[in-house]
């Protein structure tokens, strides 16, 4: 019964799925029992720890969710290649961000175009997800949109409604999102996922940058949540001697230990490498950064990584279901387990909290430096990222910047090149944003409001009325004043969103790098000599 409780959520979802079917009650019950037993049998056989450990990464994937699961693993799907926006369920679908070279872009769909119907069915009344589902489909099939055009074209005027057929393709979302020189010395690769073939992609990116005169490689793994372990091994193999140990996985089953070594010749054993990490760097990102650190091959810069040192395997279940189960923990070449000591107690951003040295162990890198376990990879140089105000988080997460960018596109038909673009209409943004609903309190004001609630609960607020009123008055700041105060913090977000809508995603990254203070400071750090 204990085992059942720890996976109650997965089994509850299964129960709902079966109960909702049109099959007979006896068949439904038999199917539920069979799946229930299959899940517990597989967990008992394969799970890395005793089942009393709460593990958020072991999940049941029913047949109807297989396509989304495959998309997560491969980073591909069949569709038109565009981000859509539906501000009103009874209104049109808006094209927000078509991907460069996508079927949507090739068919002439641009940011600001509005889709009134999909294959003859009105989009009014559809949610954003329902609209997206209708746009997806088997590659090679055609979907026809009725589109209200934002701009004029060869045979239509701005505002005309035209039929636009789009042939779906297999859309591969890029795992390597940006490759370029930062200056005359530093080549830069931004990698956001570990999907199939990304190791070859890093090789190709390295060759491109080398031809441009790269003297030092910066591999940005910040906020990279990981993916395929074999691709992590492939990337490390580019820069260390053939036969080097990259990672070892150890499970509960006897004899299940696996050692992963590089099997190909490296492309460069000399070039200095900087790997950027943060609290969002997890799993395969930690394999790469941990291995390169343990092998004394790269300088790791940033903040401590997430601490997910678990290996998930896919096990088939009856009725075409699948179980993604944690079967092992992985260890870096020095022997460190990257998995956080505590699965559940983390900081607000999900990162590992402070772990005293008394709870950790020392390990040695290839050349004798001391590194420690306990959760995540600790960088050689700690460089913290920019800490944004509560207001900035609020306007971004509530879509205020996104909505304003759409407004800007409608009002500005052409812009200079991305290198020359700088947003200079902040008064217009303030006028737009101040009428929107979002929580604009400062962190101090939010804490004050919480304090007032606690004081009231403790019966102390009436005795402090004057002090609280004075403090509240000093913390009060109207929306417009606060928006103007945080102009320097907000403008880069606006510039990035606008750049994406005129010149696609790569342009947005290029604009973002202008104000990436963490990257700029990382470039000032010396390469560690071992």
Residue 22 pLDDT > 50, yes or no? no
Residue 511 pLDDT > 50, yes or no? yes
Confidence of residue 448 (pLDDT cuts 50, 70, 90): confident
Confidence of residue 60 (pLDDT cuts 50, 70, 90): low
Confidence of residue 466 (pLDDT cuts 50, 70, 90): confident
Helix (H, G, I), strand (E, B) or coil at 199: helix
Query: Which of 42-56, 75-89, 182-196, 419-433 has the lowest average pLDDT?
Result: 42-56
Region 100-125: what's the mean pLDDT? 95
Region 158-168: what's the mean pLDDT? 96
Q: How many CB atoms lie within 10 A of CB 201?
A: 19
Residue ranges of domains in the chain: 2-72, 77-172, 176-312+323-384, 390-442+477-519
Q: Taking Cα atoms as reference points, which of 528, 496, 524, 498 lies closest to residue 512?
A: 496
Region 341-354: what's the mean pLDDT? 62
Highest mean pLDDT among 254-258, 297-301, 388-392: 297-301
Residue 186 pLDDT > 60, yes or no? yes
Each residue of 361-384: pLDDT tens digit? 899 999 999 999 888 999 999 999
CA 209 – CA 69 distance, rounded (Å): 34
Asked if 249 is an active-site residue, the reply is: no
CATH number of the domain at 77-172, out of 2.30.42.10, 3.40.50.1820, 3.40.1190.20, 2.60.40.10? 2.30.42.10
Active-site residue (options: 220, 294, 402, 516): 294
Q: Please, are residues 510 and 180 in contact by the beta-carbon 8 Å criterion?
A: yes
Active-site residue (options: 281, 283, 285, 289): 283
Q: Please, are residues 2 and 54 in contact by the beta-carbon 8 Å criterion?
A: no
Q: Taking Cα atoms as reference points, which of 319, 353, 494, 315 lies closest to residue 421?
A: 494
Region 121-136: what's the mean pLDDT? 94
The burial class, CB within 10 Å (0-12 / 13-18 / 19+), for 77 is: buried
Start-to-end CA distance of the chain, whole Å, equals 53
The burial class, CB within 10 Å (0-12 / 13-18 / 19+), for 426 is: middle
3-class SS string, 444-485: HHHHHHHHHHHHHHCCCHHHHHHHHHHHHHHHCCCHHHHHHH
Q: Please, are residues 274 and 216 in contact by the beta-carbon 8 Å criterion?
A: yes
CA 70 – CA 73 distance, rounded (Å): 5
Highest mean pLDDT among 9-18, 68-77, 100-109, 521-530: 100-109
The H or E element that residue 520 is part of is helix 517-522
So what's the pLDDT on residue 11? 36
- Torsion, Cα 167 168 171 177, to 10 degrees, reads 40
What is the DSSP track for 243-302? T-EEEEEE-SSTT--EEEE--S--S-SSS-EEEEE-TT--THHHHHHHHHHHTT--EEEE
Helix (H, G, I), strand (E, B) or coil at 191: strand
CA 6 – CA 50 distance, rounded (Å): 11
Residue 38 pLDDT > 70, yes or no? no
Domain 176-312+323-384 fold: 2-enoyl-CoA Hydratase; Chain A, domain 1 (3.90.226)
What is the DSSP track for 370-385? EEE-SSS---SEE-PP
Residue 400 pLDDT > 70, yes or no? yes
Pairing of strands 322-331, 310-316: antiparallel
Asked if 294 is an active-site residue, the reply is: yes
Q: Between 327 and 131, where is the model more confident?
A: 131
Residue 105 pLDDT > 90, yes or no? yes
Q: Please, are residues 63 and 331 in contact by the beta-carbon 8 Å criterion?
A: no
Q: What is the pTM of this model?
A: 0.81
Confidence of residue 359 (pLDDT cuts 50, 70, 90): confident
What percent of the chain is predicted at pLDDT more than 70? 78
Confidence of residue 21 (pLDDT cuts 50, 70, 90): very low
Query: Which of 91-105, 169-183, 249-263, 514-528 has the lowest average pLDDT?
Result: 249-263
CA 288 – CA 338 distance, rounded (Å): 12
Q: Which residues pair with 257 in a beta bridge?
A: none
The H or E element that residue 372 is part of is strand 370-372
3-class SS string, 40-107: HHHHHHHCCCCCCCCCCCCEEECHHHHHHHHHHHHCEEEECCEEEECCCCCCCEEEEEECCCCHHHHC
CA 57 – CA 81 distance, rounded (Å): 29
Asked if 308 is an active-site residue, the reply is: yes
CA 508 – CA 512 distance, rounded (Å): 6
CA 138 – CA 79 distance, rounded (Å): 7
The number of residues in the chain equals: 530
Active-site residue (options: 86, 308, 324, 486): 308
* Distances from the Cα of 81 to the Cα of 69, 76, 137, 142, angstroms: 18, 10, 11, 13
Region 222-238: what's the mean pLDDT? 95
CA 431 – CA 483 distance, rounded (Å): 10
So what's the pLDDT on residue 471? 78
Q: Please, are residues 149 and 160 in contact by the beta-carbon 8 Å criterion?
A: yes
Q: Between 248 and 310, where is the model more confident?
A: 248
Region 472-500: what's the mean pLDDT? 91
Q: Taking Cα atoms as reference points, which of 303, 255, 251, 272 lies closest to residue 47?
A: 251
The burial class, CB within 10 Å (0-12 / 13-18 / 19+), for 295 is: buried
Q: Between 315 and 472, where is the model more confident?
A: 472
Q: Which residues pair with 337 in a beta bridge?
A: 331
Helix (H, G, I), strand (E, B) or coil at 171: strand
């Amino acid at each position: 019964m204990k085992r059942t409780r720890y996976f109650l959520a997965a089994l509850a979802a299964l129960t709902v799925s079966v109960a909702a079917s049109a099959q007979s009650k006896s068949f439904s019950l038999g199917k539920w029992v069979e799946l229930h037993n299959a899940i517990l049998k597989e967990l008992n056989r394969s799970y890395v720890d005793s089942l009393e450990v709460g593990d958020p990464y072991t999940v049941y994937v029913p047949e109807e969710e297989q396509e989304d699961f495959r998309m997560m693993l491969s980073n591909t799907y069949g569709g038109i290649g565009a981000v859509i926006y539906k501000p009103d369920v009874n209104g049109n679908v808006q094209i927000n961000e078509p991907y460069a070279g996508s079927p949507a872009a090739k068919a002439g769909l641009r940011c600001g175009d509005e889709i009134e119907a999909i294959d003859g069915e009105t989009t009014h009344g559809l949610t954003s997800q329902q609209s997206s589902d209708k746009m997806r489909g088997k590659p090679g099939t055609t979907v026809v949109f009725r589109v209200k055009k934002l701009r004029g074209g060869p045979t239509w005027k701005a505002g005309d409604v035209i039929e636009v057929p789009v042939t779906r393709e297999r859309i591969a979302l890029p795992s390597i999102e940006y490759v370029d020189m930062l200056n005359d010395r530093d080549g830069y690769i931004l990698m956001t996922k570990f999907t199939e073939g990304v190791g070859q992609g890093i090789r190709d990116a390295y060759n491109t940058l080398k031809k441009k005169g790269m003297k030092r490689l910066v591999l940005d793994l910040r906020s990279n949540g990981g993916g395929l372990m074999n691709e992590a091994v492939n990337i490390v193999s580019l820069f260390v001697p053939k036969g080097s140990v990259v990672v070892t996985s150890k499970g509960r089953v006897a004899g299940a230990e696996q050692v992963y070594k590089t099997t190909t010749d490296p492309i460069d054993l000399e070039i200095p490498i900087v790997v950027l990490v943060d609290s969002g760097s997890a799993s395969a990102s930690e394999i790469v950064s941990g291995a390169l650190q343990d092998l004394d091959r790269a300088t790791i810069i940033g903040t401590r990584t997430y601490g997910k040192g678990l290996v998930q395997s896919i096990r088939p279940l009856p009725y075409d279901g699948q179980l993604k189960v944690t079967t092992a923990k992985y260890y870096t070449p020095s022997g460190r387990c990257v998995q956080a000591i505590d699965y559940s107690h983390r900081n607000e951003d999900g990162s590992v909290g402070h772990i005293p040295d008394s709870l950790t162990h020392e390990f040695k890198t290839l050349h004798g430096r001391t590194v420690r376990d306990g959760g995540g990879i600790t960088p050689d140089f700690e460089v913290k990222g920019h800490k944004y105000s509560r207001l900035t988080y609020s306007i971004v997460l509530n879509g205020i910047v996104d909505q304003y960018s759409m407004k800007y596109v409608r009002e500005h038909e052409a812009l200079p090149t991305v290198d020359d673009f700088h947003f200079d209409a902040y008064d217009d943004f303030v006028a737009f944003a101040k009428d929107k609903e979002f929580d604009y309190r400062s962190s101090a004001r939010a804490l004050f409001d919480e304090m007032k609630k606690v004081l009231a609960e403790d019966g102390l607020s009436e005795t402090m009325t004057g002090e609280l009123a004075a403090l509240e008055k000093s913390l009060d700041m109207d929306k417009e004043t606060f928006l103007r105060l945080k102009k320097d913090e907000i403008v880069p977000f606006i510039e990035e969103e606008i750049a994406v809508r005129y010149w696609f995603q790569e342009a947005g990254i290029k604009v973002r790098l202008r104000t990436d203070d963490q990257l700029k400071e990382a470039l000032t750090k010396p390469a560690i000599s071992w």
